[in-house]
Structure 1
Amino acid sequence: MKIFSKHRRKLEPHRRFGGREFRSRLRQAQNYKRSLAPVRYFLFRFRFLKWLLIVLALIIVYYLVVSSRFVITEVAVAGNSQVTQGQIQQALEAIGNNRLLLVKKNHYLLLTRGRVNKMLTNALPEIQEVVKSDRIGFRRIEIEIKERVPGFVLAVKDRKFLVDESGTVIRETVENHGLPEVALQTEEDVVVGEYLSNTKLTAFILSMHKSWPSKIATRVNSIKLTSKYANEVQFISAEEWSAFFDVNRSVYSQLSGLSMLLSKQIPAKDRARLAYVDMRSEKWVYYCFKSTPCAQIPAAAEGEQK
């Protein structure tokens, strides 16, 4: 067996590098020039994309900041009775005078239902909530609102304000609109859009005024508050006697106790002499006649009428 075969035999240099095929490849390598076309194509493409992005950015900035093409200018309103469409239109125009990151706040992209609700409820206290908001095209918006329901009239410093069921001061008024009037005895400032911080006060006044005719024959002549933060309220009857109530206690129990007191302790013939009845204590009911000492009875007697 042959250890060294012929095909492993080392070729001589003139035979290895002097062949026709090798010389042909050598000439091709000498004449080779590196092509710059891919690099130039990449640079052209990069510059084109860069300028395209710049142009697109300028167009976006123009329509967001400068142009009024996408600014909402028309509004249609549903569900309104106290607020006019003109007032809402003016509110949106006033909102457009303010900007968010250089973009007008009445721009199409910014007027989502949440933003419309916040803007209009702040601008117009009569609006409790924006129930629905639809953008039609790029210049028009259709909204549906829920207005606040007036509960009573708050009178202070020769001015009158409508207050809704939640205690929000809706607007100033000159008429009572058939609502009970509550007189503020201190000269505190009242601002439209303000919320009465005592959450129980408004509910108590409305509930007591509504329940009064079912328990007391004499109608309510007026209602008074010592402060807009008060925890007590004074109801003055047409017979000119007063009843003091605690807003933190039950309307039913206090009114029932007052009804029992009037029917058992103070007959109709003595009502003209009655000065006031104090129902604020949980244990005692106090009542006073004009020019006479006050009397008291246990408040537990209230429960007998339940």
Structure 2
Amino acid sequence: MARENRFRKPEFQEKLAKARGYERDSRLRFRWKRAAVLALILAIVYFLTVSQRFLVKTAVVSEPGPSAEQIKDVLSRMQNEHLLYVIPKNHILVLNKSSLLSEIQQELPEVRSIKIFKKKWPNGLGLALEEREPIYVWQTGAKYFLLDQDGVVFQEIPTYTPEVFSQILIVDSTVAPVKNGERLPISSILGFIEQIRKDWTTSINQTNYSHFSIPGVKSQDIFARTAIGFNVIFDLEAGPKQQLESLSLILSREIRQETYTGLSYIDLRLSDKAYYCYKDAPCAPEYATSTNPSL
């Protein structure tokens, strides 16, 4: 009876009412927090997928290089492509230097790198682009392409004339097809050719080179066509300077100068000897790569 009377006391009833109110307030605060989190999620989804405010559509591009209009076309195409099926690739939060370069090179293979990449909130972009340097001309069959220092094919030449294009000509005798933007696995070949070019004038005074050719990108043989008309066959895995010294010796001591025009080739691929062949000799196929010709 005393316990029941205690429960009926005003002090107890007041505490009970406060506890019930606290429970209601806690539930209300939880609902508000959940609603706020949901609203934040919806806002993020909106700004990532629906809002146009954060989509990079134009860029300020420093000269020289592609125009701002060309970059705008790339960004427009990126807007139609999505990450995780919902986020446009040109959204300022997901757009980055590497992804933009990849997209630019699909349409503009002459772009080598992005030197400056600066985002300007909320949808601006500042760029400085590096263009490829046309150091070589790559010939395969009847087609000619500009080739840069990285071995990347980046522009087809509709009409090739040596007088217009002063770059070093490299001929792929296998006539393997190539396409713009393709990186050829020829870094060692280009390095060897550059060393030959550097040392030729100091080692050889009888004739100059006119162009180079290779029997495929995986070949170890490099052919240098001389201005006189004969080929010099080099071994990619041997030292270029040593092979040029051998060439100098054979031209000055073994072959008479008045017979240079009758030469078909000089083969320097063996370390202890060199072979040479005249055009009217049985050993005179123009490109001899699989067998060693006799004297």
Same fold judged by TM-score > 0.5?
yes
Aligned to 1:128: 112
Aligned to 2:28: 44
Matched, 1:94 2:71: no
Aligned to 1:28: 9
What do the CA deviations read for 1:149-198 (whole angstroms, capped 9, x no partner)?
A: 22211111322111122222222223563101122222211122222224
Aligned to 2:210: 221
What do the CA deviations read for 1:111-141 (whole angstroms, capped 9, x no partner)?
A: 2334334443555432332222111121211
Aligned to 1:299: none
Cα distance change, pair 99–194 in 1 and its aligned pair in 2 (3 A):
same
Matched, 1:268 2:269: no
Deviation at 1:104, TM superposition (A): 0.6
- Superposition pairs of residues 182-201 of structure 1, within 5 angstroms: 182-201=170-189
Q: Identity percentage over the alignment? A: 26
Question: Which of 70, 75, 90 pairs up with 2:54?
Answer: 70
Match of 1:187, as an amino acid? V
Aligned to 2:196: 208
Cα distance change, pair 77–196 in 1 and its aligned pair in 2 (3 A):
same
How many correspondences in the alignment? 273
2: CA distance between counterparts of 1:30 and 1:76?
74
2: CA distance between counterparts of 1:114 and 1:30?
71
1: CA distance between counterparts of 2:105 and 2:34?
45
TM-score of the pair, normalised by structure 2: 0.82
- Superposition pairs of residues 271-282 of structure 1, within 5 angstroms: 271-282=260-271
Alignment RMSD (CA, Å)? 2.7
Match of 2:217, as an amino acid? K
Pair member with larger Rg: 1
TM-score of the pair, normalised by structure 1: 0.79
Report which stretch shifted further, 275-284 or 109-118.
Answer: 109-118
What do the CA deviations read for 1:78-126 (whole angstroms, capped 9, x no partner)?
A: 3644x44433332222222211121011100012334334443555432
Report which stretch shifted further, 48-57 or 206-215.
Answer: 206-215
Report which stretch shifted further, 190-199 or 159-168.
Answer: 190-199
Deviation at 1:267, TM superposition (A): 2.7
Report which stretch shifted further, 87-96 or 152-161.
Answer: 87-96
Deviation at 1:70, TM superposition (A): 0.1
Aligned to 2:222: 233
| Structure 1 residues not aligned, in runs of 5+ | 1-16, 295-306
**SS class of match (1:284):** coil
Q: Please tell me whether the aligned partners of residues 105 and 181 of structure 2 are also in contact (alpha carbons under 8 angstroms).
A: no
Question: Which of 131, 134, 154 pairs up with 2:138?
Answer: 154
Q: Please tell me whether the aligned partners of residues 121 and 129 of structure 1 are also in contact (alpha carbons under 8 angstroms).
A: no
